[in-house]
């Protein structure tokens, strides 16, 4: 069995693999197979165990000596605890309200979304070490719950840049939302408004700042891909400021080409003629993005701003009164430079494992950055956040708020706006419960004493 792509969770990795037609013939379509489900079959059937090990040894993507050793022990040792209700990828939810957690939306989105578009969202870089590290990093930290505190009522609100928000969960900027559902960013913005989450529009969005501000019903944040041209960047910034945006996120971690192997493999499955929608080249891509409307793109060579320096940030500071937040900081050295150069905040981010494959998770980088900043500017964080306990760990380690991306895209691809609303609802419910379990009634009570390294 040849795996097509892989997206691992710490205790359960999953892969796209060829399905079988009646009679055992291979199908051209693919089904979602769960390693934990395969392990359950091994428990009950010795023959399945042998086939599982044979398949495992033949698959370079799933090779794991530890897993093979565990499987070899199974005749005399059951896993503890036994997984009595493993994730069943063939039993997809048909209503967003049926979702138990955010992961329930991903296989539905895979079914609904064209392969190339799904691959664009799901892919990391190279071996996707950073993509996996973003999830696995949370296992390096443990929560230290406190007891005998009254948590009958919990306040999840947080203040950012002088504005009070009902939740610390912010909608991260993601490009091309119409890849996943026809309503695209409009559906996400409306869902964010319904759940009282701050929404951030990407420069690569398929709707304009004016449309999204209207859909949200108030000011939203904006993420800037500056491009190598100052004139292009300035035109976008002026438009965004005129639309009433209070916060400008400047992405600094998209510096060049990306080897997105999951995307490239899934793109081979896509039978559509992509050229009908995707004009090649940076200018062609920019013309499909409404935030470039009316801007002279004749000299534009790339959308990635790999010529950006701190001089650009200083120039930007002199151009706008918006709060400037640097997105893509991963070291204490750069965090100190953010403060020294007068920016208003920063986001610890590795672009969801899509910008580089350093292998370092954002939660692992967070403590040194918080220490370097010393409370002088707010620190936000994104990357791999899927659970309420993930949020607790990030906030306890010093993040003021967290930003989520892929989970709401799963909801969008699965069910449109109702799917996004349910994803956000689940995240809020889990955070509320995790705060109670940790013994804090508001986010101000969360401190580094509530977590420890495992």
Pairing of strands 12-20, 5-9: antiparallel
CB 354 within 8 A of CB 258: yes
Q: Please state, in angstroms and rounded to a whole number, the distance separating the CA atoms of residues 381 and 399.
A: 6
Residues facing residue 223 across a β-bridge: 202, 249
DSSP 435: H
Of 117, 181, 197, 351, which is the active-site residue? Answer: 351
**Domains of the chain in sequence order:** 1-91 (no CATH), 136-453 (3.20.20.70)
Residue-by-residue pLDDT tens, the chain, 454 positions? 333 333 434 444 454 444 444 444 444 444 444 444 444 444 444 555 566 555 555 554 444 455 555 555 566 678 888 888 888 878 999 999 999 999 999 999 999 999 999 999 999 999 999 999 999 999 999 999 999 999 999 999 999 999 999 999 999 999 999 999 999 999 999 999 999 999 999 999 999 999 999 999 999 999 999 888 899 999 999 999 999 999 999 999 987 778 888 888 988 888 887 766 767 777 777 778 889 899 988 877 777 788 899 999 999 999 999 999 999 999 999 999 999 999 999 999 999 999 889 999 999 999 999 999 999 999 999 999 999 999 999 999 999 999 999 999 999 999 999 999 999 999 999 999 999 999 999 999 999 999 999 9
Q: How many CB atoms lie within 10 A of CB 376?
A: 12
Residue 197 annotated among the catalytic residues of the structure? no
Contacts of 364 (CB under 8 A, 6+ apart): 133, 137, 140
CA distance linking residue 183 with residue 296, whole number of Å: 28
Sign of torsion over alpha carbons 244, 206, 409, 194: positive
User: 325, 380 in Cβ contact below 8 A?
Assistant: yes
Integer-rounded Cα radius of gyration of the chain: 22
Phi, psi of 171 (to 5 degrees): -75, 110
Closest by alpha carbon to 392, among 434, 423, 445, 429?
Answer: 434
């Amino acid at each position: 069995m040849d795996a097509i792509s892989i997206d691992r969770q710490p205790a359960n990795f999953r892969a796209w693999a060829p399905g079988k037609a009646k009679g055992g013939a291979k199908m051209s379509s693919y089904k979602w197979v769960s390693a934990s489900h395969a392990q359950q079959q091994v428990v009950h059937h010795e023959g399945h165990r042998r086939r599982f090990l044979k398949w495992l040894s033949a698959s370079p993507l799933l090779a794991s000596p530890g897993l093979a050793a565990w499987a070899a022990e199974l005749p005399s040792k059951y896993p503890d605890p036994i997984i009595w209700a493993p994730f069943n990828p063939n039993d997809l939810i048909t209503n967003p309200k049926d979702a138990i957690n955010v992961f329930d939306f991903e296989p539905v989105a895979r079914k609904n979304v064209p392969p190339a578009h799904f691959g664009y969202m799901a892919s990391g870089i190279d071996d996707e070490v950073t993509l996996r590290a973003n999830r696995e990093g949370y296992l390096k930290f443990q929560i230290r719950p406190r007891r005998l505190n009254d948590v009958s009522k919990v306040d999840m609100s947080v203040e950012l840049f002088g504005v009070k928000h009902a939740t610390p969960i912010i909608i991260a900027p993601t490009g091309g939302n119409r890849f996943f559902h026809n309503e695209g960013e409009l559906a996400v913005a409306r869902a964010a408004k319904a759940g009282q989450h701050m929404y951030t529009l990407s420069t690569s969005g398929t709707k304009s700042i004016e449309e999204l501000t209207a859909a949200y019903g108030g000011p939203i944040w904006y993420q800037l891909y500056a491009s190598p041209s100052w004139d292009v960047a300035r035109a976008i910034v002026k438009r965004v400021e005129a639309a009433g945006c209070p916060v400008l996120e400047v992405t600094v971690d998209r510096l060049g080409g990306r080897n997105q192997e999951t995307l490239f493999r899934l793109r081979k499955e896509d039978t559509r003629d992509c050229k009908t929608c995707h004009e090649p080249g940076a200018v062609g891509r920019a013309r499909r993005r409404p935030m470039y409307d009316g801007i002279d793109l004749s000299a534009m060579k790339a959308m990635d701003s790999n010529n950006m320096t701190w001089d650009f940030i200083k120039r930007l500071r002199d151009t706008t009164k918006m709060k400037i937040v640097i997105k893509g900081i991963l070291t204490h050295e750069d965090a100190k430079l953010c403060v020294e150069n007068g920016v208003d905040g920063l986001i610890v981010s590795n672009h969801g494992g899509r910008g580089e494959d350093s292998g370092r998770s954002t939660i692992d980088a967070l403590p040194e950055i918080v220490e370097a900043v010393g409370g002088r500017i707010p620190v936000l964080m994104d990357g791999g956040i899927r659970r309420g306990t993930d949020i607790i760990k990030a906030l306890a380690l010093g993040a003021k708020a967290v930003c989520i991306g892929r989970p709401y895209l799963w909801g969008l691809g699965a069910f449109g706006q109702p799917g996004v609303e349910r994803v956000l609802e689940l995240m809020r419910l889990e955070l509320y419960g995790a705060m109670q379990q940790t013994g804090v009634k508001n986010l101000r009570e969360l401190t580094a004493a509530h977590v420890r390294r495992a």
